[in-house]
Amino acid sequence: MAAHIGITTSHADGAQRLDRRYTTAIEDAGGVPMPVPLTESDRTVEATLGCIDGLVVPGGPAVTEGLTGPLPEELDALSPLRATSDRRWIEACAQAGRPILGICYGMQRLNALAGGTIYGDVEAERDGAQTHSQKRGGTTHSVSLQPSSHLRRWLSTETLTVNTRHLQAIATVGKGFSVAATAPDGVVEAIEHENGRLFGVQFHPERMGSVTHPLFQSFLDRVRGASVPSSA
């Protein structure tokens, strides 16, 4: 069964934009990518919800909910339209039991909407934090996967070398979430919800090729499993 995956998009200069690497990663894993509209309409979300089996919330600008400190100058603020639209899609999919994968901004947004807090600038606020942004010279680093995490089982490894493209980071996890992976400096690199349907990674797996192909495959397997009626 092909899983239809909604993908939220960026918003700039009145236009929706989506890096094709997100759609390619889903297609390569056997899914059908379906970018969803930026919308302020609950009716649009409700009408579209029946067409998708899961949701990916990709990278983006600054998360502004639950901040523990000011945003750095080099980080763009989140547009009000994307903020409202993404919240509608996340809440509707979560309430309908659709699995959600948040990537970078997407992970931070899932966490913030669950009541977690976010460093505005992790390097400025967390003692010992390494550089996690390419804008500041960051490249790659390792992450340690928690033994009990879905991510550890999905990727079949204890450690993973990942890209690093974020200025913000999770300070405290939201209700129901637990830490699934951390960087060497302790910065949270992945979270998972106790309900088994909400997942987030701080790095960008769509840019990592075959290394993270199993992550997308396993997420799609989770989506397919969630769409099977309990009586089946």
pTM comes to 0.95
Confidence of residue 69 (pLDDT cuts 50, 70, 90): very high
Whether 33 has a pLDDT exceeding 60, the answer reads yes
Out of 11, 104, 150, 192, pick the active-site residue: 104
Out of 141, 150, 193, 204, pick the active-site residue: 204
Instruction: Name which residue leads in pLDDT, 77 or 157.
Output: 157
User: What does the alpha-carbon distance between residue 194 and residue 52 come to, in Å, rounded to a whole number?
Assistant: 22
Q: What is the pLDDT of residue 199?
A: 98
91-120: per-residue pLDDT in tens? 999 999 999 999 999 999 999 999 999 999
Q: What is the pLDDT of residue 230?
A: 37
Contact predicate 59/102, CB 8 Å: no
Q: What is the pLDDT of residue 135?
A: 83
Out of 123, 189, 192, 206, pick the active-site residue: 206
Mean pLDDT score of the chain, rounded to an integer? 94
Beta-bridge mates of residue 141: 162
Residue 139 Cα to chain centre, angstroms: 20
Q: What is the pLDDT of residue 220?
A: 98
Average pLDDT, integer, range 64-74 = 93
List the chain domain ranges: 4-226
The reply to whether 206 belongs to the active site is yes
Contact predicate 122/169, CB 8 Å: yes
For the domain covering 4-226, report its CATH number: 3.40.50.880
User: What does the alpha-carbon distance between residue 61 and residue 76 come to, in Å, rounded to a whole number?
Assistant: 5
Average pLDDT, integer, range 178-184 = 98
The reply to whether 166 belongs to the active site is no
Confidence of residue 228 (pLDDT cuts 50, 70, 90): low
Average pLDDT, integer, range 188-208 = 98
Q: What is the pLDDT of residue 229?
A: 47
User: What does the alpha-carbon distance between residue 221 and residue 10 come to, in Å, rounded to a whole number?
Assistant: 26
